[in-house]
Amino acid sequence: MAALRVLVAEDDPVIALGLVERLRSLGHETIGPARDGGQALELARADDPDVYVFDIGLPGIDGLAAAVQLADEGRGRPVVVVTGSDDPATIERSVASGAGAYLTKPIDTRELAAALALATARYAELRAARQALEDRKIIERAKGLLMSALNLNEPEAFRRLQRTARERNLRLADVAARVVEQEHLLGP
């Protein structure tokens, strides 16, 4: 795995130091550790890390709420949750908040490495799925515009988008986005 910039948020100084040392031994750069959720938010906004390793039980804003808030701000990243509890409700809350991996204390280096790999892989899959959905939506919209403006049926409109993409060496979604951008030229 390539070196990552990892924001650590853990209120227990001994555990925080252990996480930082383990991450560094794995070849990663660390940001923090943040002592509470507010400081984690500040550091994330200032330093733009690749991954968040957040304790759930942070003072102020807990780690899960901080991760959700950052995602809402467009700063979503892979999240590894660290907690002293293996309570099923906490695990469910972690998954619902978008955490890609869940670690219970004490944490060893192998578990941390595996959690980072898992969280980054899950995050990449989720982003790819979201992008595919957005691409599909824009393609459907462009097909509809072409069908309406040029009196084409759906297969003809799709073929026209495909042909243009092929001829211009562009992604189909990019051609569709250009059609949608020029919607005002296609109709009354």
Q: What is the DSSP string of 94-132?
A: HHHTT-SEEEESS--HHHHHHHHHHHHHHHHHHHHHHHH
Percentage of the chain lying above the pLDDT 70 cut? 98
Q: Nearest 10 degrees: CA dihedral of 124, 90, 8, 39? A: 110
Ordered by where they begin, the domains of the chain are 5-107 (3.40.50.2300), 129-186 (1.10.10.10)
55-107 pLDDT, tens digit each: 998 999 999 999 999 999 999 999 999 998 878 888 888 888 889 999 999 99
First to last CA, the chain: 53
The more confidently predicted of residues 188 and 164 is 164
* pLDDT for 2: 86
Percentage of the chain lying above the pLDDT 90 cut? 84
Cβ–Cβ under 8 Å, residues 35 and 59: yes
